[in-house]
Amino acid sequence: MRYKHVVFILFLLSLSLGLNAEPLINKQGNVPHNQINAAGYSVSKPENFVLGESVGYIKKEALKVCKSIEERDIFPITGPLAKLSQKQIDCEGFYYAGKPRSVELVFQDDQLDLIWILIPELEKEHINNAMTETYGAPTMVFDYGAIYLQVNAAVRNKPSEVLFASSRQTKAMLKKLKEEN
């Protein structure tokens, strides 16, 4: 399951490095990286998809930037924060890193907690380099992928995808993993 893989990695990194899993945020609560180079290539967290926002708000934003969207309920609920509902909005045609992408927006109890951006394996190295340029060196690189703990982000190897996680998602999983270990 993706949640456990990513958060377990974040947990191990935070314990071993003594890091705080809080992302760097601006006054609006968004990661303050809107660095787009001259060619329009950006690997920053998508501004339209504000972590913590509701399904309704994000759906309106997705309609502005996606070629098509599909909303679905996830059942059974698998997210650690979901008590009442878990939903996903699948977005097609969202421009990220200079190309149209498929994006999975995962909500737990009507709050956006995970942004998964699918990328071709051939682009992974280039995206990792751009993430490092934007956010600094990854906290750790290993078989799973590159983890950017400083912004609750990752570039996963298999399947190839970029992840942005909410602070509450990361905190909840870190707490759960600490209790289990």
Domain count, the chain: 1
More confident residue, 36 or 147: 147
Predicted model pTM:
0.77
Structure tokens at 1: 């399951």
Average pLDDT over residues 172-178: 68
- In the predicted model, what is the mean pLDDT of the chain? 81
Question: What are φ and ψ of residue 37, in 5° steps?
Answer: -75, 180
Question: CA-CA distances (angstroms) from residue 138 to 25, 30, 72, 109, 146?
Answer: 17, 19, 33, 30, 6
Work out the number of other CB atoms within 10 angstroms of the CB of residue 68: 10
Structural domain including 38 reads 2-180
What is the structure's pLDDT at 142?
81
For 2-61, the pLDDT digits (tens) are 544 554 455 444 444 444 433 333 333 333 333 344 346 889 999 999 999 999 999 999
